[in-house]
Amino acid sequence: MTTSAQVETAGRPTEDRLDSTGSRFTRVLGVMVVLMLVMQLALALVISPPEVLQGDAVRLFYLHVPLAIAGGYLGVGLLAVGSIGYLWKRTIFWDLLAASAGELALMFTALTLLTGSLWGRPVWGTYWEWDPRLTLTAVLFVLLIGYRAMRTASTDPHLRARRSAVIGLLAAADVPLIRMSVDWWRGLHQTATLNPLNPSLDGMMLFTFFFSMVTFTVLFVWLLVHRFRVAWLEEQVADRALDEAITQRRAEGQETQ
């Protein structure tokens, strides 16, 4: 295994520094994320009032919904964008974007399921219900697992990129279904509350909610940038390892002659 330090001394100039996945921008972003998370927790757990019907259980709202939206829309959306980009341009950049987004989407979806279940216990009296939105979210979770399974199924980067792009694209089709499911099937799950004109949300709650949304979006972006850069650097290391390997491979011939 070539470490990043060795690669750097190998002396090929690039604009990327190889000793960290951060940059000024991401560090600032990181500090921001931490601060925002602290504030968000304060807002969600302490400052905002309990709800009339749900009591303190409503506090999961500020966790659950942003997670669902960041994972489902942002994550899967970028997965779809990356997949289309790859199929169109055939460059590794898009593949890595899709891969990073897919991985984070998997994580966020898992957390959505978890927070949703935890919320469901006090509110619906059950952890799980075969409600369309819940089920389709579980399906999305499995689709994302399938996406990852494909990524581990082959070591050939091109084959993997092509096939997982197709899978990513097809998996993304589940998200509109999740969105529409509450309207089409009328299960247990809330229909859209994200209506600015909705008067049922009191001012502090509304603010907390929007703040949570922003926080989790920024968190997602921050994680994505890092995940992507890790993948990108891995790719570059592999690229340099390839140059190295080509040299070695050529030397194979010299030895035998």
Binding site for ligand HEM (CB under 6 A): 64-65, 68-69, 72, 112-113, 116-117, 119-120, 123-124, 133-134, 137, 178-179, 189-190, 192-194
Residues 54-73 that bind another protein (CB under 8 A): none
* Binding-site string for another protein from residue 84 to residue 103, where x marks contact by CB under 8 A and - marks none: ---x----------------
Classified as helix, coil or strand, 55 is: strand
- Asked if 215 and 37 touch (Cβ cutoff 8 Å), the reply is yes
- Asked if 255 and 38 touch (Cβ cutoff 8 Å), the reply is no
* Binding-site string for another protein from residue 135 to residue 164, where x marks contact by CB under 8 A and - marks none: xx-xx--xx-xx-xxx-xxxxxxxx--xx-
d(CA 90, CA 119): 42
- Asked if 168 and 83 touch (Cβ cutoff 8 Å), the reply is yes
Nearer to ligand HEM, 73 or 93 (CB): 73
Q: Is 256 exposed, middle or buried (0-12, 13-18, 19+ CB in 10 A)?
A: exposed
Nearer to ligand HEM, 29 or 175 (CB): 175
Beta bridge partners of 55: 51
Phi, psi dihedral angles at 60 (to 5 degrees):
-65, -25
Min. distance of Cβ 8 from ligand HEM in angstroms?
A: 43
- Cα first-last separation, the chain: 28
Sequence-distant (6+) residues with CB within 8 A of 183 are 191
Min. distance of Cβ 90 from another protein in angstroms?
A: 9
Nearer to ligand HEM, 133 or 227 (CB): 133
d(CA 254, CA 257): 5
Beta bridge partners of 51: 55
9 lines the binding site for another protein (CB under 8 A): no
| Residue indicated by tokens 């491979």 | 249
Min. distance of Cβ 12 from another protein in angstroms?
A: 15
Q: Which does 156 bind (CB under 5 to 8 A by kind): ligand HEM, another protein, none?
A: another protein
d(CA 257, CA 244): 21
Q: What number of residues does the chain have?
A: 257
126 lines the binding site for another protein (CB under 8 A): yes
Q: Which does 190 bind (CB under 5 to 8 A by kind): another protein, ligand HEM, none?
A: ligand HEM
Nearer to ligand HEM, 189 or 240 (CB): 189
Nearer to another protein, 122 or 127 (CB): 127
4 lines the binding site for another protein (CB under 8 A): no
- Residues of this chain that interact with another protein (CB under 8 A) are 87, 117, 126-131, 135-136, 138-139, 142-143, 145-146, 148-150, 152-159, 162-163, 165-167, 169-171, 173, 177, 238, 241-242, 245-246, 249-254, 256-257
